[in-house]
């Protein structure tokens, strides 16, 4: 039996920051060697950051990443290191290309030992769904699997999607004799994703009868948030150690490995062996960082609200900081959405970096102004009050000769919202503050927003959060502090844009507790209107919601990016055509009866 000390480093990388990512990796390798780790693993494409998207189309970017891989390898002394990078094999670089083609590149993992790259694994299964576009960039890995001999045990390498399917690379490596497979990942967060990963890991270890060390990226990248949750799972399905979600961490676990796996059916002809030499372990003191042995079968999970809230905080913090901003500005209406965004921003960036702006009009209630003032006092952020009445009247005077009278109805409502957008962008330009938008997923889905008004900004913190979830997150945040951060008066009053006298959201939309389940079914689960009615939703409600969603696609395309927390967010996930005349039969009921044939 072999004793191997594994260190899993869930680091927060930045796409394109090759030098910075390499420095983070080398620093972590140094710390892992201080822990006397035998093998250290980093996330998928950790040198380039994930996802690098069309940077991969630049040959210079690929070559630069190979240079920095050499720097990582040169820094490795007493351990083996598994690190993600983009590979462009020399033999394939020399192959003549047909017109319009380019050299194949691979999503790869390098194994570094004693200052050199001693082996490379190319990802076999390339995801091409949801937010993943890997077949656009990468060639598929093929050929023999390489196993790495460490003391008396064999270790296999795989990358992310390779783990998710039965009879795949993990089983093949186990049949070749691997008693440990290291799986490096950049698996984006969505609600409940940690439990999904654990279920798959338990399927794979049961199938392959080997240990799996799963290391995942952490941090925000544009719309995506990576939550970490790296873990080591035994052949029996026990969790031997797990890292926290939404934090950088190094998980160090001692494993006792036996040679031969997959129920003893070894297929040594299917693998190539690389001997990493004798382990430097010696008689090190035992170490286990993670959960206690008595809790190994249980994931120390966060509540649904805490998980979502942490994702929003991390996604906001990293978007702002990684894009070079220090401060943000938020239009505070005294409503629940802007209150939640301000609270998230304060937790992400610190109160001194968050600036609130209240822009009351003739339709703003005194209660809304008071609520905003209470909120900023609770958060410790500053508040600028800029009334828009004089500007509103000026626009009305300018437009009246062209319109024939002062703006009314929707024109006047949207005018107020756009005035506020202009003010926020002026503050952004003058002070270098990033504008955070406050629209939620229910509003974006139904088009209940104003282009160039409340949609103005650089980042949409809650753009993937349904309105009903906004309420639950506010209550979670208050309960976390044991006091009202977000005033109860904000939680209790009917939602309103306050753009006309007596306005409330339910005059334009179905009640949110009825609306949101339909949106989940239509947007997130891709049900048709017919299917939703068959599932028990009211037919008139379904047809109204479907019409609103389909009509608002052109608006959503112009919205800023924002944190993704579901498996079907607007943006990278859901890509509906704007010009789209498809109407399923159920939708046609709006225009006349359709007979079933």
DSSP 375-399: HHHHHT-EEEE---HHHHHHHHHHH
One of 79, 160, 210, 474 is an active-site residue; which one? 160
One of 9, 112, 123, 443 is an active-site residue; which one? 123
Strands 145-150 and 153-159: antiparallel
- Between 440 and 2, the more confident residue is 440
Banded pLDDT at 410 (limits 50, 70, 90) = confident
Residue from 243, 131, 138 nearest 197 by CA: 243
pLDDT of 497 reads 63
- Most confident range, picked from 459-463, 478-482, 566-570: 459-463
Numbered ranges of CATH 3.40.50.620 in the chain: 306-588
Query: What's the pTM value of the predicted model, to 2 decimals?
Result: 0.90
Kindly tell me if the per-residue pLDDT of 28 is higher than 90: yes
- Pair 407, 399: CB distance under 8 Å: yes
Residue from 555, 544, 495, 554 nearest 522 by CA: 544
Tokens standing for residue 285 = 């003191």
Is 160 labeled as catalytic in the residue annotation? Answer: yes
Q: Strand ranges (DSSP E) for 11-94? A: 39-41, 80-87
Over pLDDT 90: what percentage of the chain? 70
- Pair 446, 506: CB distance under 8 Å: no
pLDDT of 585 reads 58
Q: What CATH superfamily classification does 2-300 receive? A: Carbon-nitrogen hydrolase (3.60.110.10)
Average pLDDT over residues 31-36: 92
One of 33, 36, 44, 413 is an active-site residue; which one? 44
pLDDT of 73 reads 95
570: three-class secondary structure by DSSP: strand
Domain 306-588: CATH architecture, name and number where available: 3-Layer(aba) Sandwich (3.40)
Mean pLDDT score across all residues of the chain: 88
Q: What distance in Å separates the CA atoms of residue 7 and residue 528, rounded to the nearest whole number?
A: 47
Q: What distance in Å separates the CA atoms of residue 211 and residue 234, rounded to the nearest whole number?
A: 5
Kindly tell me if the per-residue pLDDT of 351 is higher than 60: yes
Kindly tell me if the per-residue pLDDT of 260 is higher than 90: no
What is each CA distance from 240 to 154, 180, 298, in whole angstroms?
A: 19, 13, 10
32-36, 360-364, 524-528, range with the lowest pLDDT: 360-364
What is each CA distance from 11 to 65, 84, 308, in whole angstroms?
A: 17, 12, 20
Is 123 labeled as catalytic in the residue annotation? Answer: yes
Banded pLDDT at 3 (limits 50, 70, 90) = confident
Average pLDDT over residues 329-351: 95
Banded pLDDT at 573 (limits 50, 70, 90) = confident
Banded pLDDT at 268 (limits 50, 70, 90) = low
Banded pLDDT at 586 (limits 50, 70, 90) = very low
**Model pLDDT for residues 36-80, shown as the tens digit of each residue:** 999 999 999 999 999 999 999 999 999 999 999 999 999 999 899
Is 44 labeled as catalytic in the residue annotation? Answer: yes
432-441, 448-457, 575-584, range with the lowest pLDDT: 575-584
Banded pLDDT at 214 (limits 50, 70, 90) = very high
Banded pLDDT at 266 (limits 50, 70, 90) = low
Tokens standing for residue 66 = 């190979």
Side by side, the strands of the sheet bearing 106-113 are 116-122, 106-113, 80-87, 39-41, 2-10, 249-257
Average pLDDT over residues 537-547: 93
DSSP 8-state secondary structure symbol assigned to residue 425:
H
Numbered ranges of CATH 3.60.110.10 in the chain: 2-300
Over pLDDT 70: what percentage of the chain? 87
Residues 6+ apart with CB under 8 A from 401: none
Q: What distance in Å separates the CA atoms of residue 41 and residue 250, rounded to the nearest whole number?
A: 10
pLDDT of 301 reads 76
pLDDT of 279 reads 55
């Amino acid at each position: 039996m072999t004793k191997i000390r594994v260190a899993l480093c869930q680091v927060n990388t930045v796409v394109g920051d090759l030098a910075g990512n390499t420095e983070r990796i080398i620093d972590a390798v140094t710390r892992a060697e201080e822990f006397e780790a035998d093998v250290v693993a980093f996330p998928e494409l950790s040198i380039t950051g994930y996802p690098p998207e069309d940077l991969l189309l630049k040959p210079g970017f690929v070559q630069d990443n190979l240079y920095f891989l050499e720097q990582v390898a040169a820094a490795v002394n007493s351990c083996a290191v598994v690190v993600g990078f983009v590979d462009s094999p020399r033999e394939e670089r020399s192959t003549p290309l047909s017109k319009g083609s380019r050299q194949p590149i691979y999503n790869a993992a390098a194994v570094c030992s004693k200052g050199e790259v001693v082996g490379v694994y190319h990802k076999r299964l390339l995801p091409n769904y949801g937010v993943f576009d890997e077949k656009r960039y990468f060639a598929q890995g093929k050929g023999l699997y390489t196993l790495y001999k460490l003391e008396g045990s064999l270790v296999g390498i795989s990358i992310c999607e390779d783990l998710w399917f039965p009879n795949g690379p993990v089983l093949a490596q186990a049949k070749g004799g691997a008693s440990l497979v290291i799986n490096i990942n950049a698996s984006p967060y969505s609600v409940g994703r940690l439990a999904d990963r654990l279920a798959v890991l338990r399927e794979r270890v049961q199938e392959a009868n080997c240990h799996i060390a799963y290391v995942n990226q952490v941090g925000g990248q544009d719309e995506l948030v990576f939550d970490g949750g790296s873990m080591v799972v035994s052949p029996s399905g026990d969790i031997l150690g797990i890292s926290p979600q939404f934090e950088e961490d190094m998980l160090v676990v001692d494993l006792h490995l036996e040679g031969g796996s997959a129920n003893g059916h070894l297929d040594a002809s299917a693998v190539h062996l690389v001997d990493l030499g004798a382990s430097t372990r010696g008689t090190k003191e035992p170490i286990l960082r993670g959960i206690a042995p008595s809790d190994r079968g249980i994931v120390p999970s966060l509540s649904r609200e805490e998980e979502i809230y942490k994702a929003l905080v991390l996604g906001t913090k990293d978007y702002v900081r990684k894009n070079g901003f220090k401060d943000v500005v938020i239009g505070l209406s005294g409503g629940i959405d802007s209150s939640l965004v301000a609270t998230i921003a304060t937790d992400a960036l610190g109160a001194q970096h968050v600036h609130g702006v209240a822009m009351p009009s003739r339709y703003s209630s005194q209660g809304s102004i008071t609520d905003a003032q209470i909120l900023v006092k609770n958060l410790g952020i500053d508040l600028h009050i800029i009334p828009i009445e004089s500007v509103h009247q000026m626009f009305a005077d300018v437009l009246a000769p062209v319109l024939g009278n002062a703006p009314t109805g929707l024109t006047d409502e949207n005018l107020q919202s756009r005035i506020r957008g202009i003010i926020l962008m002026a503050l952004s330009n003058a002070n270098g503050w990033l504008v955070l938008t406050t629209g939620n997923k229910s509003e974006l889905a139904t088009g209940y927003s104003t282009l160039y008004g409340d949609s103005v900004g650089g980042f949409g913190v809650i753009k993937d959060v349904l309105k009903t979830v906004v309420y639950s997150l506010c209550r979670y945040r208050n309960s976390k502090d044991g006091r009202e951060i977000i005033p109860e008066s904000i939680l209790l009053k009917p939602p309103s844009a306050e753009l006309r006298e007596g306005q409330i959201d339910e005059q334009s939309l179905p009640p949110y507790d009825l609306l949101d389940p339909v949106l989940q079914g239509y947007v997130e689960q891709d049900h048709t209107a017919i299917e939703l009615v068959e599932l028990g939703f009211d037919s008139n409600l379904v047809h109204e919601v479907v019409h609103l969603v389909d009509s608002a696609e052109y608006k959503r395309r112009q919205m800023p990016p924002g944190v993704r927390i579901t498996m079907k967010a607007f943006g990278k996930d859901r890509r509906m055509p704007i010009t789209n005349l498809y109407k399923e039969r159920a939708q046609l009921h709006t225009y006349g009866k359709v007979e079933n044939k």
